[in-house]
Structure 1
Amino acid sequence: MIPNTKISNTILEFGKSIILQLPDGHSKEEFEAAISIVIAAWNAVVIDVWNKTDEFERELIERLGEGPKQAQIEVKRLVKRKKSKFSDDLRAVGNHWVREQDGEYIFGCEARGNVEDLPAKETKH
């Protein structure tokens, strides 16, 4: 089943635990850094499902092993959240952006799908 929600809204909901940790008055760059971590975790799980592996998840955690322990813990939580609460959504995030509008940061992104897994039986030709 193809989700009917905007991928940008789904990503914001998925990553709210990271986003809510940003300090009051955070900068656009801080928000972009947080959303990049959220997207990396999301895409690692999705691409691993597409490829029936755990390669991307393992690589993401391994790369974080060089940084603060808290970052590794947060990403592991995101991976677990993706697998438990968002497991049915197999869209990956492609291009993404953050822009400022009226003092707020607006996040947008494009969804990418694995065409091999899209349901063809309900496609009209």
Structure 2
Amino acid sequence: MKNEPRYVIIASNEPKPMGETLLDYARPLIQQLPHDHTLEELKAVVIFAAVLWNVQVVEDISGAVRYLSKKMPPRLRVRPAKGLVLIRRMLTRKDQCFRDDHRLALAVDVHRDGSDLRVTAVGAVAELDALPSTVDGWPCNVGDIRSGRRHLPN
């Protein structure tokens, strides 16, 4: 285990803030909303786009299909077959238009600011941990606050 690489999660606004990127990515879905859509429906579409953005392996797609058919607001739900077509289009869009952006979209929030739509999100990337692997060997009682004593490894 000591020789296995470790990763840390780093927040990133590169190449641009994650909320802006997610809004660009979700635009085709947003444009398909009914003209009388609610804020709840708009939020659901952007959050669904974030779910798709975060798909890492084929197994994640079945969860996205379930989300689209059962967790979306009622009038936005679609059958699994139609959902798969939509998901494939969005995953293709990510690959073609956002290929160099490897962040995850986390803590997504959607709100209106007057007539403007605001999407905020944290972009996160995994990077190799620069700490030496000897950190794994620290004893559990280092800095035991309850006893008021600090034990340092030899």
Of the three residues 68, 91, 110, the one matched with 2:103 is 91
Larger Rg over CA atoms: 2
Of the three residues 34, 46, 49, the one matched with 1:35 is 46
Identity of paired residues, percent? 21
SS state at 2:28 partner: helix
- Structure 1: which amino acid aligns with 2:90? L
Tell me which of the two structures has the higher relative contact order, counting C-alpha pairs closer than 8 angstroms and 6 or more residues apart.
2
More helix by share: 1
TM-score, normalised by the number of residues in structure 2 = 0.60
Give 1:24-103 correspondences, 5 Å limit.
Answer: 24-44=35-55, 48=56, 53-57=57-61, 59-61=63-65, 67-68=78-79, 69-103=81-115
Report the equivalent of 2:21: 10
Q: Would you say how many aligned residue pairs link Structure 1 and Structure 2?
A: 110
SS state at 2:35 partner: coil
TM-score, normalised by the number of residues in structure 1 = 0.72
Q: Which consecutive unaligned segments of at least 5 residues does structure 1 have?
A: 121-125
Report the equivalent of 2:118: 106
- Structure 2: which amino acid aligns with 1:115? E
8 A Cα contact 2:110 2:120, kept in partner:
yes
SS state at 1:115 partner: strand
